[in-house]
Amino acid sequence: MAQSHQQARWIAHVDLDAFFTSCEQRDHPDYRGRPVVVGALPGHRGVVAAASYEVRRFGVHSAMPISEAYRRCPDAVYLRPDMEKYRRASRQIFRVLETMTPVVEAASIDEAYLDISGLDKLVGPPHKIGTEIRQRILSATGLTASVGIGPNRLIAKLGSESCKPDGLAVVSTDQVLDFLAPMPVSNLRGLGRQTQKIFDRLGIETVAQLRTLPLAVLEQHLGQRAAASFHDQAFGRASDTVVTERQRKSISKEHTFETDVRDPAILHDVLRELAADVARTARREGLAGTGVTLKIRFEGFETHTRRQRLASPTDDERVMLKTAWTLFLHGDLPHKPVRLIGVGISGWEDEAQPQADLFDQPERRRQDKQLLNTIDSVTERFGKGMLQVGLSRKTDK
């Protein structure tokens, strides 16, 4: 696209292309050019975590049941996720991005927002900056990324989506309305199935058509808050702020069983492992939370969540497990076999300044912290299960 460079803000959205599957294709040359699915294995319960571009031609996409993916493309390569590999690649990518600008906000493991305003004096115009970002990522990791650049976060994000895979889109302020006009409204942020049904009923298919509806009419159908959001998006209005220290809202882990489980001992053991994973991630990121969430799913995707607020922030799996298990036992849940169980922590407070407990002992806290850090170090080096705090049942091996 032609560009106008005289504008105050330039925001970039960097999105790795089919990240998990691209990591696997990079490391296994025989997978290149072939349809690849990362997620559950065929014959097992679970969903697609990532789908390569080759397999998407068969209609396979993320979150699809693995049974349906296999029906559509039985010849694909099916792999279990290797999260450590993906995290290593992600760390490399973010180090690359920080060589471009210190103002980098992680949106997920494989995407980020960058404030590149003013970089034209050091690197060049936005198109050159985007090209440089993609080249540096490819050189450092062997992976391709799509980059969208615009005056705010919305346009940058839609730009990167519009040029996938391995592309670059630069949209200046005076191009925003033309860029958005032909897009289906389904591209806009926050549009779920119910909102889509309302737009269908109103005959609204594109952003250009959405602009013709007065805000008051939108409010009648969507409510004040949603109407304002879609009205602003239709005209390209959005935040241009990139927050470098934005923390994730929560950390959670869950497990789907091959067959539904009734045995409380099995559920407790799985919950223990999940709590350990959540706590380890929290400690690695320097986070401590005051809200523990238990997630339970039964047959037919009947899902329940229970939450409890703690008196003080924690990053300790023992506290998370005890709280989550109490929620399981006393959370007024149906007495049915469990299909999925999960645990999460949220409600961050300053981990270095936990709420004081009248009976707390500083030396005990220090020893606990040292113990947990030791477990983390051993786990990082030798894998899960080598060391654990005293949470296991006696029958654990």
> Is residue 111 among the annotated active site residues?
yes
Element (H, E) at 257: strand 250-261
Element (H, E) at 19: helix 19-27
Start-end of H helices in 80-206 = 83-100, 126-141, 153-162, 176-180, 193-202
Q: Which of 54, 105, 111, 317 is catalytic?
A: 111
Residue 355 · residue 330 · CB < 8 Å: no
CA distance 7 to 240: 12
CA distance 254 to 348: 20
In whole angstroms, how large is the CA radius of gyration of the chain?
A: 24
Query: Which positions ≥6 away from 3 have C-beta within 8 Å?
Result: 125, 126, 127, 170, 172, 175
Query: Which positions ≥6 away from 159 have C-beta within 8 Å?
Result: 13, 147, 148, 149, 150, 169, 170, 171, 179
Query: Which positions ≥6 away from 108 have C-beta within 8 Å?
Result: none
Active-site annotation, residues: 111
